[in-house]
Amino acid sequence: MPELSRRITSIVAAGGDGWAVHYRATKLRAAGKPIVMLSIGDHDIKTDPAILRAMTQSADAGHLGYTTMAGIRPLREAIARRSEQLNQQPAQPENVIVTSGGQGAIFAAMTAVLDPGQSCVVLDPYYASFDLTVRAACARPIVVPTRAEDGFQPDVAAIEAALADDTRAILINTPNNPTGAVYARDRLEALADLCVRRDLWLISDELYDSQVFDGEHVSPRTLPGMAERTIVIGSMSKGFAMTGARIGWALGPQELIERMVDLAGTTTYGLPGFLQDAAVFALQEHPELEAAVSDRYRRRRNIAVDAVSGSNLLRISPPQGGMYVMLDVRSAAASGIEFAEALLDEEGIAVMPAESFGNAAAGHVRIALTVADDALESSFQRIMRFAERHAAGGDSVAAVGGAVQSPLA
C-alpha cells in the first residue's frame, strides 16, 4: 500500500484517542455482559416522538434530495433566533451554517481559521477530540491546563504566556465537558480582551448552553469586540436528545460562514432535508423539550452529589452545568485510568478516566449521568463500595484491573 499522509497518521497520538475503556465496555456489552454505560454522553431517552413524527412526515413528503450547503433557511433562521433569545445579541441566518453535528462545526471552524502549522490553544481538561481536531486541521495544539482548586476556570494569564507567534485561535467549551465548569463572566471578559489585543479567533463550544445549574452562561460573542472574532458551536444533540441526527451549527461573521460553506461543498455537501426539518420543528414548536432535558440532568447531578457526599474516600465537585460529574478517585487508585479499568472488570460499570481529556484532572474519572435515576444511584453506591473495598484491603487497583493504557499527551 502506498504511504499514508502525515496529516491522517498524526491525528491520533501514540497513547490512543482516549476512548479505550469505552471501546472495551462496548465490546463486553455486545458479548452479552451486563455493563452499565456511564462512559459516553448519549442520552438514555429517545428523541421525542413529536420530533420523530416531523422527521418522518418530511421524508414522506419527499424532502430527500440535495439541500443548500449552508443549511435550509428555516433552520438557519431558527438557530439565529434561538441565539438572539438566549444571548440578547443580534444574529441573522447569514451568520449560521448547519453542520454534521457540533464536531463537524469545530473541524470546519478550525479549517477556516488555521493554516497548516499554525497553533490553537486548547484548555485542559478538554473534550477528548479537541486536540485531535486541531491536528486534523494540520495545526498544532497548545495545551494550557486549568486547575481543580480554581474550579477548572480559564487562567487567562497562563493562556497569554503560552501563546506562540503562530497562534491564531483559542478553543473553549462552556459549560465544560468533562468538568461541568461554567466559565465566569470576568474570566471570559479577560479572555475577550486578550483575543482583541492579540487579534485571535475564539472558537466557543456551547453545546451545553441550555444545561446551566449554577451561575450564568455567557457567550463570548456578546462581549465587546468579539462578534467579529467568535465562532459559536452549537448542536441539537445535547439539548434535544438528537445525537444521531447529527445536526450542529457554527455561528459567526458572515464572511467566515461563506467560506465554511465553500468547505461544505468539498466535504458534507449539505445535510438531509428531513433531519433539518425535524430540527426546525423542535426549535420552533417544542422549545420546552430543551428545558425538560436540562431538568433531567439537574436532578441526576443532585443524585450523584448526594450519593458521594458521605464518602471519606471519593470527592465530587458539583458541576455547574452539563451532563457529567467528575469524581476524584486519587484516594483509591494511582490514576483515573487504573480506577476505570478495574471498575469495569469488577463491577461492570464503564466510566471515562479523566486522563482521556488531558492531564490536568489526572486521578479523576468522568461519569455520564445517562442512565435512569435509580440505576444511577445504585451505580454510585457500587462505585463507592468498590473504592472502599480496595482501600480497606490495601489492594492495588492496578493489580486487578484490565489492560492499562498510557495517559494521552
Query: Which tens digits make up the pLDDT trace of 27-54?
Result: 999 999 999 999 999 999 999 999 999 9
How many Å is the maximal CA-CA distance in the chain? Answer: 65
Residue 408 in this model has a pLDDT that exceeds 90: no
CA distance 233 to 202: 11
Question: Which of 58-62, 139-143, 308-312 shows the lowest mean pLDDT across its residues?
Answer: 308-312
Return the minimum-mean-pLDDT range out of 213-217, 344-348, 400-404: 400-404
Q: How confident is the model at residue 374 (pLDDT cuts 50, 70, 90)?
A: very high
**Which of 221, 223, 226 minimizes the C-alpha distance to 205?**
221
pLDDT for residue 226 is more than 90: yes
What is the topology classification, in CATH, of domain 65-285?
Answer: Aspartate Aminotransferase; domain 2 (3.40.640)
Averaged confidence pLDDT in the chain: 94
pLDDT of residue 213: 97
The predicted model gives 152-158 an average pLDDT of 98
What is the model's pLDDT at position 32? 97
> Residue 77, Cβ neighbours under 10 Å: how many?
18
Angle (nearest 5°) at CA 91 between 63 and 154: 110
Strand 324-328, strand 315-316: pairing: antiparallel
- pLDDT at position 310, please? 83
**Cα dihedral 361, 365, 369, 372 in deg (nearest 10):** -170
Q: Say which CATH superfamily domain 6-46+289-391 falls into.
A: Aspartate Aminotransferase, domain 1 (3.90.1150.10)
Query: What is the mean predicted confidence (pLDDT) over 346-357?
Result: 97
Q: Which region among 62-71, 293-302, 309-318 has the lowest average model confidence (pLDDT)?
A: 309-318
Model confidence at 352: pLDDT above 90: yes
Position 395 scores a pLDDT of 58
Neighbours of 144 (CB within 10 A): 22
Residue ranges of domains in the chain: 6-46+289-391, 65-285
Is a pLDDT exceeding 60 seen at residue 340? yes
| Residue 406: partners with Cβ closer than 8 Å, 6 or more residues away | 14, 15, 16
Residues 6+ apart with CB under 8 A from 263: 108, 111, 112
Other CB atoms closer than 10 Å to residue 79's CB: what's the count? 28
Choose the weakest-confidence range: 191-200, 224-233, 275-284, 310-319: 310-319
Percentage above 90 pLDDT, the chain = 92
pLDDT number for residue 16: 80
Q: Which of 110-114, 178-182, 274-278, 329-333 has the lowest mean pLDDT?
A: 329-333
CB 227 within 8 A of CB 89: yes
Q: What is the mean pLDDT of residues 270-287?
A: 97
Please state the rounded mean pLDDT for residues 83-97. 96
Over residues 128-151, the pLDDT tens digits come to: 999 999 999 999 999 999 999 999
At residue 62 the predicted structure's pLDDT band, cuts being 50, 70 and 90, is very high
- So what's the pLDDT on residue 394? 58
**pLDDT digits over 246-278, tens only?**
999 999 999 999 999 999 999 999 999 999 999
Confidence of residue 391 (pLDDT cuts 50, 70, 90): confident
390 has pLDDT over 60? yes
Residue 271, C-beta contacts closer than 8 angstroms, at least 6 positions apart: 67, 71, 98, 99, 100, 246, 247
Rounded to an integer, the average pLDDT of 206-229 is: 97
More confident residue, 231 or 397: 231
pTM attached to this predicted model: 0.94
Q: Tell me: the pLDDT tens digits for 393-403?
A: 555 554 433 33
Q: Which one is predicted more confidently, 398 or 173?
A: 173
**Facing residues of 169 across strands?**
120, 201
**Is the predicted pLDDT of residue 409 greater than 60, yes or no?**
no
Flag the least confident range among 59-73, 144-158, 394-408.
394-408
Judge whether 115 and 169 are in contact, CB under 8 Å. no
